[in-house]
């Protein structure tokens, strides 16, 4: 049995799990907000989708790790270590971005004019997933 692809599977799986949970949290918040306000529903849905971007980081790393493993420039054990650590960082970043997005939705439901300002906090939380992605790229290089 070949265990070489465990690392790429871990980084993709964890980042996608994080994005799914991260989108579900504000998605549920948007349902509650939409039941209370008559307009701005598209904004709520847009904010809810923010954590989905972090699954792309896991997807790119999965492809690069697979190629490095096949080329012999990455050992399977190193792949597992990188996949687990970077995947967990992206997953946690996605989940917390979802929590932040849920509070942004609640705030925008009460004060629609602050919509743009809420993206600052969402971007800051996203940056940690991006940092993990870049660190993963550096480890592969």
Does residue 28 contact residue 102 with C-beta atoms inside 8 Å?
yes
CA angle 58, 133, 28 (to 5 degrees): 60
Q: What is the pLDDT of residues 58-102, one digit of tens each?
A: 999 999 999 999 999 999 999 999 999 999 999 999 999 999 999
- For position 87, what pLDDT does the model report? 98
Q: Report how far apart the first and last C-alpha atoms of the chain are (Å, whole number).
A: 27
Burial class (CB in 10 A: 0-12, 13-18, 19+), 69: buried
- For position 1, what pLDDT does the model report? 56
The full set of domains in the chain, from first to last, is: 6-140 (1.20.120.610)
**Listed range (15-29, 91-105, 106-120) with the worst mean pLDDT:** 106-120
Say yes or no to pLDDT of 11 above 70. yes
């Amino acid at each position: 049995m070949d265990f070489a692809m465990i690392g790429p599977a871990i980084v993709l799986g964890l980042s996608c799990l994080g994005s799914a949970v991260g989108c579900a949290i504000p998605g549920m918040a948007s349902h509650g907000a939409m039941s209370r306000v008559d307009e701005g529903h598209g904004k709520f849905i847009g904010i809810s989708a923010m954590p989905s971007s972090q699954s792309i980081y896991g997807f790119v790393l999965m492809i690069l790790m697979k190629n490095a493993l096949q080329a012999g420039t990455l050992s399977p054990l190193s792949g597992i270590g990188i996949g687990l650590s970077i995947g967990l960082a992206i997953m946690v970043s996605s989940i917390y971005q979802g929590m932040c997005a849920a509070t942004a939705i609640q705030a925008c439901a009460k004060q629609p004019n602050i919509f743009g300002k809420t993206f600052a906090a969402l971007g800051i939380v996203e940056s940690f997933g991006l940092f993990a992605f870049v660190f993963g790229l550096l480890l592969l290089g």
